[in-house]
Amino acid sequence: MIRTAKPRNARSKRALEAREPKLVESQKYTLFLSGTSTSDLTRSAMTDIHSLKKPHAVKFTKKNSIHPFEDATPLEFFSSKNDTSFLVFASHSKKRPHNLTFARTFDHRILDMLELGIDARTFRPLTFFKTPKPGIGMKPLLSFSGAIFDSVPNYRLFKNMFLDFFRGETVNSINVEGLRYMIHFSASESTEQNPTPAIHMRVHLIKTLKSGQKLPRVEVEEMGPRMDFKVGRVQETDEAMMKEALKKPRALEARSKKNIETDIIGDKIGRIHTGKQDFSKMQSRKMKGLKRRPTDGADEEATLVDEDEHDGAKKARLA
């Protein structure tokens, strides 16, 4: 346990305030660390994933005697000490070669863990591909191919964790020109001969070329790294902790207003209730053309006199 320290100056006070809970959490940071025994392949793979996560990543170079699935207390300590939400632990042994363990935390407590073994035959590092690389801090496009990511629990956890891992900062809109690369995960269906199929991770560079039309022609080119994972040990999420992690603050909940609804398209519809109307007392709109002028009465009298004289003259001729 880390004791609560009181700030000694304004700088340390700002640092402690930045770690306090917020209504809208800031970008999640990831801590990369190695065990006492690692291989060149796991170190290279961890370095490549670290480059994709920059600048929201911290990497340790010293070895640490940690066994995540036996005792996760050291991981929780490092998470709290460095204020990170994700941890990637590299290890290598004869029984479990070329392993990367992804751990997700909530309130600096282990929420869930997933162990992935890397296939050494198909691994290709980032430097193997002589292609341009995207800039630091760009958000990737994520795609998953295979119904297994929605049906099998371990693969469903993989999808949920990596969506959270590469999600980046929450924004209201994205500039299409900033989408420069995509990460694609694919896996075949599980069978009796192969109940745990490998997960293929491919990273592609997105290119926009002229097409002679309004929309550009989009092409993709593999930029690395290329990894094939085999799902190993899994520590599932505790239901009570997950319920607490998914709880939303009341200040962010959209308060429903009376008689105002939003339809499927997203348009706001309002309903107005009016009382019983008395049309006898209703004020109608007055028009100038319907107003009575002072000369109208004299004109009507003159017209009546002319008609009487005309009728008298007509009767005299008939007599």
Helix, strand, coil percent values for the chain (each to nearest 5): 30, 25, 45
Burial 253-280 (b: 16+ CB within 10 A, else e): eeeeeeeeeeeeeeeeeeeeeeeeeeee
Predicted pLDDT at 302: 53
Amino acid identity for residue 195 in this structure: P
Give the whole-angstrom CA distance, residue 46 versus residue 41: 9
What average pLDDT does this structure show over 111-133? 94
Give me the pLDDT at residue 167, please: 87
Residue 308 pLDDT > 90: no
Q: Measured between alpha carbons, how far is 78 from 99 in angstroms, rounded to an integer?
A: 20
- What pTM, to 2 d.p., does this model score? 0.75
Number of H helices, E strands in the chain: 7, 12
The dihedral built from the CA positions of residue 62, 63, 65 and 67, taken in this order, carries a sign that is positive
Instruction: For residue range 272-285, list pLDDT tens digits in order.
Output: 887 777 777 776 66
Instruction: Write down all domains in the chain, each with its CATH number in brackets.
Output: 28-236 (3.40.50.10480)
